[in-house]
């Protein structure tokens, strides 16, 4: 009698285990079907533009107020006003770097300021170092490469060149290409 009860118990466990496995199989099949439908129906990725990144009128004013003295003030004036210049630089810190560079490139007066700064090696070297560090940081955060096509179209640069420079991590050449290529 004990043996029959034991066999009945094992039989019930086998039936229950089979039921659970079949149910699990159906659930997995439903899940995989759902995933396959999502993959098939996902729309193509929207092309992103650097213009989607924020740049307010205050940001534009802060960029101007930083670049104008760097381009036009004497080294002595810059030295005496170092704190003020550093404050102006800090005010531009949170501007997305590609928006910043494109704004400088596409604004004739700021472009002249950038060219003057480039000719002043004592000013250009730290300026360039700040931007190369910023570009490397922005790239590691995924904030550079997705926007290269739209940026290159607007500034007239070759997007393949910009991508190659970004992939190589040559941020100095990237900066020069964005700001000064014709």
Residue 85: closest CA among 104, 66, 68, 100: 66
Q: Can you tell me the distance from the alpha carbon of 165 to that of 156, in angstroms, rounded to the nearest whole number?
A: 16
Question: Can you tell me whether residue 29 is helix, strand or coil?
Answer: helix
Average pLDDT of span 167-182 = 93
Tens digit of pLDDT for each residue in 136-170? 999 999 999 999 999 999 999 998 999 999 999 99
Cβ distance 150 to 48 under 8 Å? yes
Please calculate the CA angle 173-61-101 and round it to the nearest 5 degrees: 15
Does the pTM of the predicted model rise above 0.75? no
Tens digit of pLDDT for each residue in 8-26? 656 665 555 455 444 545 5
Q: Can you tell me the distance from the alpha carbon of 75 to that of 89, in angstroms, rounded to the nearest whole number?
A: 17
Per domain, the residue ranges of the chain are 1-42, 50-180
Tens digit of pLDDT for each residue in 55-100? 999 999 999 999 999 999 999 999 999 999 999 999 999 999 999 9
């Amino acid at each position: 009698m004990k043996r029959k009860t034991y066999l009945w118990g094992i039989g019930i466990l086998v039936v229950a285990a089979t039921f659970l496995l079949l149910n699990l199989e159906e659930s997995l099949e439903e899940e995989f079907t759902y995933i396959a439908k999502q993959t098939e129906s996902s729309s193509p990725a929207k092309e992103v533009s650097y213009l989607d990144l924020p740049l307010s009128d205050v940001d534009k004013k802060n960029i101007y107020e930083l670049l104008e003295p760097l381009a036009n003030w004497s080294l002595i004036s810059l030295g005496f006003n170092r704190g003020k210049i550093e404050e102006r630089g800090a005010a531009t810190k949170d501007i997305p770097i590609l928006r910043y560079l494109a704004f400088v490139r596409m604004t004739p007066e700021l472009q002249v300021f950038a060219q003057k700064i480039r000719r002043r090696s004592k000013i250009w070297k730290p300026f360039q170092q700040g931007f190369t560090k910023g570009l490397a940081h922005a790239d590691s955060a995924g904030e550079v490469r997705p926007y290269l096509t739209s940026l290159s179209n607007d500034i007239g640069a070759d997007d393949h060149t910009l991508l190659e420079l970004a992939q190589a991590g040559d941020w100095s050449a990237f900066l020069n290409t964005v700001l000064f290529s014709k």
